[in-house]
Structure 1
Amino acid sequence: MAPLGSDRVGYWGPTTSTLDWCEENYAVSFYVAEFWNTLSNLIMILPPIYGAIQTVRDGLEKRYIASYLALTVVGLGSWCFHMTLQYEMQLLDELPMIYSCCIFVYCMFESFKAKNTVNYHLIFILVLFSLIVTTVYLKVKEPIFHQVMYGLLVFALVLRSIYIVTWVYPWLRGLGYTSLGIFLLGFFLWNVDNIFCESLRSFRTKVPPFVGVFTQLHAWWHILTGLGSYLHILFSLYTRTLYLRYRPKVKFLLGIWPTILVEPPKKHI
């Protein structure tokens, strides 16, 4: 992480967030504190909106609509945070990460239940967890606490995913492990960005701007974790629809972007 206040001040005034990342502030636009870190959030905003619309069209369970829209909310919050570097916008980024991950956990652990059933006990536990994390984080304002709590939720998702591709639907390993691998690559680049920030900044001063863009590793973290999270929703939805005896297939929109096409169960005559 870059030292707070290490860069110029722009439209949104002095930084008030408890975090400031390695991208030089207001280097591209007077109105956007971290331009590339902001723009990279589009991958967490637009594709999940399409996924939510497709889920509604297919008449699937509302929990998956909530999953897609929760990822969109994370993207919007992160956009606002990196655009302004204001503390209130930081909360709009970080807290929805917890809430969205709780929705993902609910979907994964309810994959093998009857259609449209509701596990109120699990909902209570996840809501209570979210409330405790929110309350503590607002009090202590320690990013490490948030990162650990988010990591616990991701760890639960990883364990559940491994169980599913090992014991239930082994043919989903490709989708499950691709999602996990992309997310872990993003996490690796996030750490490189934090640890070697000064070296990255120095390198950017020596190369053309279009080359320096590719060294904005926090932006790559957004792109990779956004894609990894999106693929996780596809994996979760694929698992659920298989259990409900639908006929899901992975299709590529415009030959590029993965989506789930869900056909209704065959009627037995």
Structure 2
Amino acid sequence: MAPALERQGYWGPTTSTLDWCEQNYAVTPYIAEFWNTVSNLIMIIPPIFGAIQSIRDGLEKRYVAAYLALTVVGMGSWCFHMTLKYEMQLLDELPMIYSCCIFVYCMFECFKAKNSVNYHLLFTLVLFSLIVTTVYLKVKEPVFHQVMYGMLVFTLVLRSIYIVTWVYPWLRGLGYTSLGIFLLGFLLWNIDNIFCDSLRNFRKKMPPILGVTTQFHAWWHILTGLGSYLHILFSLYTRTLYLRYRPKVKFFFGIWPVIMFEPLRKH
């Protein structure tokens, strides 16, 4: 990622250990990275409705936690990109670890009795989160956080592939769509980091509306937010299918995917 060209605005000097490719305070003096900030709405609003719907459907609390964890990630990322303060950076990065741990727990408990609790896995994930938090607060090295986050995502990918290969092959569409969207976001995140100087020069020559489309870190938020949301749907679909809830993916307003349930089958 390139060093920031403007480091002053409403929030004062940058104190975060990361500063992304978007030009700081270019849109408004009150938001350091405008597009990187507002793009987090996809990680805030839809998961809130997902959590509410999960409560209404009487689903297990871990799925409510998964939705809300994604919302917390989006809110933390909003605060980080808005201020570029170190404390807000932690509010963005550490919940990424915690939310992924919740996703891992949900995925590995898909085929257990209803409302069961795996205390061994729970302890392992909590311990992992505490170790990552402690080390990261001490070393303050973003690469460490990225590697730990990558390990969790890789675990989710392997588990998902197992499910769509050996358990519910007809869920490949949902599972691979979630994975593909996430990987596309990861690709754009890397392009934004590696070719930042070229992207900034391109934006200077292009009309603002066209330059916005090259804010690839913002696209990372949009695509990984959507990918994470679809992953929760995939996990929830797998779980409720096992519990014989007869889930179906439907599209709210013909656009946004949600899971609906038919009456339970009688055993």
Q: TM-score range by the shorter chain?
A: over 0.9
Matched residue, 2:212: 213
Matched residue, 1:2: 2
Alpha-carbon RMSD across the aligned residues, in angstroms, is: 0.7
Counterparts of 1:14 and 1:226, CA distance in 2:
28
Are 2:174 and 1:175 equivalent residues in the alignment?
yes
Residue type matched to 1:166 in 2? T
Are 2:228 and 1:229 equivalent residues in the alignment?
yes
Kindly tell me the number of residue pairs found equivalent between the two proteins.
Answer: 267
Matched residue, 2:126: 127
Residue type matched to 2:43 in 1? M
Matched residue, 2:249: 250
Matches within 5 A, 1:12-161: 12-161=11-160
Residue type matched to 2:25 in 1? Y
User: For the structure 1 residues 8 and 140, does the alpha-carbon distance in structure 2 shift closer, same or farther, using more than 3 Å as the test?
Assistant: closer
Question: Can you give the 5+ residue segments of structure 2 that lack an aligned partner in the other structure?
Answer: none
Which TM-score applies when normalising by structure 1? 0.98
3-state SS in 1 of match to 2:40: helix
3-state SS in 2 of match to 1:236: helix
Contact preservation (8 Å) 2:7, 2:14: no
Counterparts of 2:53 and 2:261, CA distance in 1:
9
Counterparts of 2:261 and 2:104, CA distance in 1:
22
Give every structure 1 segment of 4 or more consecutive aligned residues whose post-TM-superposition deviation is greater than 4 Å. Answer: none
Counterparts of 1:217 and 1:159, CA distance in 2:
27
Counterparts of 2:115 and 2:220, CA distance in 1:
34
Which TM-score applies when normalising by structure 2? 0.99
**What's the CA shift for 1:263?**
2.4
Residue type matched to 2:105 in 1? Y
**What's the CA shift for 1:264?**
3.3
Counterparts of 2:227 and 2:90, CA distance in 1:
22
Matched residue, 2:194: 195
Counterparts of 2:87 and 2:218, CA distance in 1:
21
CA deviation map 1:170-208 (0-9, x unaligned):
000000000000000000000000000000000000010
3-state SS in 2 of match to 1:259: strand
Counterparts of 2:85 and 2:188, CA distance in 1:
24
CA deviation map 1:103-160 (0-9, x unaligned):
0000000000000000000000000000000000000000000000000000000000
Alignment identity in percent?
85
3-state SS in 2 of match to 1:23: coil
Counterparts of 1:218 and 1:60, CA distance in 2:
34
Question: Can you give the 5+ residue segments of structure 1 that lack an aligned partner in the other structure?
Answer: none
